[in-house]
Structure 1
Amino acid sequence: MIDFARVRRMMVDHQLRTYDITDLGILSAMNEVPREAFAPDEAKGLAYSDQSLPVAHTEDGGRWLLPAMIFGRLLQNLQVRAGERTLVVASALGYEAVVMQRLGARPTILESDAGVAERTRALLAEHGAGSVEVVVGPLDGGCPDAAPFDVIYVNGAVQVRPQALLECLAEEGRLGVIVGDGSRTSRASLFVRSGDTFGSRAVFDAAAPLLRPFREELGFVF
């Protein structure tokens, strides 16, 4: 039988700390939240591997539990502060929102699949995060009725500019997403709002499954 608490501690020490994740709040939260609880029964043993793990099927490409070091490092770059309103797009059944709530944030989840949304609500309640709102709607449509958000985290890769999500940011709000086709040539990137403009910079190389609503059409240039 797997000692998940021990494996989780090893994840913190050997994946997060060695990948330049030094924020003590993030390290503590990710050591407390059981990733295996958000994985399918047959794949719980892979919840702490350094690969993207499928956790739900959807028509727009599925939901994935991204490697802890990718999520943790992008979260660190987003500098989530207590009291901030955060949006998780295409969540891995609520895992990221639970971690953010442990940091003192007030998360909302945007999910396009109603069935996955119900599963997510159940898991959130099970892990003490039942107050997290799960909004059902197109991923690329943003969440304007609940905006603005201080932080938006996109749980997957995009090839096209997520303009509707950017428009949901508050002034000086930050959006973190992996830009590219999802391969190892993709880059985790940070967008910051200033008025009607959005500055961006790449922060590290990262691979993640591509979210179909943000797939590049023929002839499009990011």
Structure 2
Amino acid sequence: MNIEQARFNMIEQQIRPWEVLDPQVLDLLFVVKREDFVPAAYRNLAFADLEIPLADGQVMLAPRVEARLLQELGVRKGDKVLEIGTGSGYMAALLAARAEHVVSLEIRPEIAATARENLQRAGIDNVNVECADGIAGWPQRAPFDVIVFSGSVAQIPPAVLKQLRVGGRLAAVVGEAPVMEAQLITCIADGVFNTINLFETVVPALDGGQPKQEFSL
């Protein structure tokens, strides 16, 4: 397989058609090597339009979904970022390339350890992978400028919303199959949020971060 041709095809045939047109995001997809975060058994599928299996039934999200969420979040230099659901570490690597620092929460120790290894091998030193249940967020480093859920949740946990700085952005796929929607939530004032529905999709539930009970804000 011609790796660079496959990467180019992924960007031009999968990602651009999903309205990912920010040149900085597109350039980043050439720089951060997705294949370095894919399990060896699935390396030949690194650029395919599908979710790639990880350990314990978890997955890497499809490239177009990750790229679209990254674009909508508009990560800037100086931003403090919280990712809930580390997976392979690839999304954390993309976020880290644009942010000052990323905290990424992963509930499964084996997956967290593999992600740390992937990030270290890629030379990325501004990501802390913490083994924790993301439903509580990470109050130790709050507030955050950007929060992203790398997997779907039935609802956004209020504890996580409270960790978003005024002016901060949160992206998540919200709902339960077969009806889910990617949302961008902006904190416009203390305790006040504006929600934009971005696109319909269905992605696996975030393991350990899926709130089953009903919340009231």
After TM superposition, the score normalised by the length of structure 1 is: 0.89
Partner of 1:45: 44
Instruction: From 186, 191, 197, give the equivalent of 1:192.
Output: 186
Q: Could you list the per-position Cα deviations for residues 82-129 of structure 1 after superposition, in whole angstroms to 9, with x for gaps in the alignment? A: 121111110222101111222244222111122222211111111011
Change in 2 beyond 3 A, CA 1:145/1:65? same
1:146 aligns with 2:146: no
**Paired residues of 1:38 and 1:55 also in contact (CA < 8 A):** no
What is the identity, as a one-letter code, of the residue corresponding to 2:2? D
Q: Does residue 11 in structure 1 map to residue 16 in structure 2? A: no
2:198 aligns with 203
Q: 1:123, 1:214 → 2: CA distance? A: 22
For the residues of structure 2 that align with 1:118 and 1:4, how far apart are their CA atoms? 26
Counterpart in the other structure of 1:135: 130
Listed one character per residue, the Cα deviations across residues 22-75 of structure 1 (whole Å, up to 9, x for unaligned) are: 111110111222212212211111221212112222xxxx43211111111111
The residue aligned with 2:20 is 21
CA-to-partner distance for each residue in 1:131-176, whole Å, 9 max, x for gaps? 3111221121110001111001100111123222111111111110
CA distance in 2, matches of 1:51, 1:76: 19
Check the 8 A contact 2:135/2:210 in 1, yes or no: no
CA shift, 1:216, in A, is 5.9
Aligned residues: 215
Q: Which amino acid aligns with 1:81?
A: R
Amino acid at match of 2:155: V
Shift of 1:77: 1.1
Q: Report the TM-score when normalising by structure 2.
A: 0.91
- Unpaired runs of 5+ residues, structure 2, are none
Structure 1: distance between partners of 2:211 and 2:74: 29
The 1:221/1:45 distance shift into structure 2, 3 A limit, reads same
Rate the CA distance shift 1:30–1:182 in 2: closer, same or farther, 3 A. farther
SS of 2:12's partner is: helix
Please tell me whether the aligned partners of residues 159 and 214 of structure 1 are also in contact (alpha carbons under 8 angstroms): no
Aligned: 1:168 with 2:167: no
Is contact 2:157–2:215 with CA below 8 Å preserved after alignment?
no
After TM superposition, the runs of 4+ consecutive aligned structure 1 residues lying more than 6 A away are none
Amino acid at match of 2:62: P
Which residue pairs with 1:103 in the alignment? 98
State the alpha-carbon separation in 1 of the partners of residues 13 and 170 from structure 2: 27
| Aligned residue type for 2:166 | E
Distance 1:160 1:214, change over 3 A: farther
Q: Determine the structure 2 residue equivalent to 1:159.
A: 154
SS at match of 1:208: coil
- Structure 1 unaligned segments of length 5 or more: list them: none
Q: Are the equivalent residues in 2 in contact too, given 1:158–1:182 (CA < 8 A)?
A: no
